[in-house]
Amino acid sequence: MHIMTQVKVFEKRSDLRKSNNEGGRSINLALSKRGIKALEEVGVFADVKSILIPMEGRMMHNREGNLTFQPYGKEGQHINSVSRSVLNEHLIEAAEQEGVQLCFDHTCTAVDLENTTISFEHNGKESTEHFDLVFGADGAYSQLRQAMFRTNRFNYQQFYIEHGYKELTIPPQNQEISPLTLMPCTFGRGVSTCSLHFRTLTEALHAHYFCLLKVNVDLYANQDILVIALAGPFNVEDLVVLKNSCTA
């Protein structure tokens, strides 16, 4: 039985199909059987299957320059890397085809659980939406989580970890295998991520590691932070469901 429900999605960022700015996290997603099954259920997997990059394991680079390959599973097994932006485009298209109303450039400013309303800022103007059910996926500094924080028996803890990360672009040099590459910091393939303690983001580190890859990196520009937010329960009766978010 198909239940007709009016669904609206409010997104803080612009429509990535109309903008060159991807926003958010550009590091690729690792997609395994669980994610593939979910994409198959919504009819999207066939569209993204051709852009998957198989990752058979990790390639470890130690400080002496030695390489160690660590397979993810048995021979022939692998997980997949997929572009977040391309995957999101397919999901957006699928949602629109199902009649979902997408509202971009809407910043959530407040949530009133008692009156079941959510306030948004859009192009300098405030608006209010009433809801019957809300799924919150508004990130580490969630307005919905803040509203839930004021309900009874809601537990919340937040702390910043001592590591930040830096996105890098490293052209692959070995086309025969597709490993996730790990140095004394962590790399993916293509658009990559270096995860390091903030105190170690120095020019000396750059000279010691990145010059070997012939990669020009400004380690001090656009460093991203990581914050862990622990919260629960994830719902308020039958009104709100909060997606667990732990990064910023």
What is the pLDDT, as a whole number, of residue 95? 93
For residue 149, pLDDT over 70 is answered with yes
What is the pLDDT, as a whole number, of residue 67? 81
User: What length is written for the chain?
Assistant: 248
Highest average pLDDT, of 61-70, 220-229, 232-241, comes from 232-241
CB-facing half-sphere around the CA of 225: CA atoms within 13 A: 9
Calculate mean pLDDT across residues 106-118: 95
What is the pLDDT, as a whole number, of residue 184? 44
Calculate mean pLDDT across residues 132-161: 89
DSSP state of 234: S
Tokens 């622990």 belong to 230
For residue 13, pLDDT over 60 is answered with yes
Global pTM reads 0.75
Which H or E element spans position 145? helix 143-149
The strand pair at 155-160 and 134-136 is best described as unpaired
Band (pLDDT 50/70/90 cuts) for residue 193 is low
Classify 243 as helix, strand or coil. coil
- CB count within 10 Å of CB 214 equals 9
Band (pLDDT 50/70/90 cuts) for residue 14 is very high
CB-facing half-sphere around the CA of 168: CA atoms within 13 A: 29
110: tokens are 């407040």
Which H or E element spans position 33? helix 33-41
233: tokens are 């329960």
For residue 104, pLDDT over 50 is answered with yes
The residues, any chain, with a CB within 8 Å of residue 151's CB and separated by 6 or more, are: 113, 236
What is the pLDDT, as a whole number, of residue 65? 72
**How far are the Cα atoms of 107, 121, 146, 153, 233 from residue 115, in angstroms, in the given order?**
19, 19, 16, 20, 20
Instruction: Write down the mean pLDDT value for the chain.
Output: 78
What is the pLDDT, as a whole number, of residue 21? 58
What is the pLDDT, as a whole number, of residue 123? 94
The span from the CA of 3 to the CA of 205, in Å, is 57
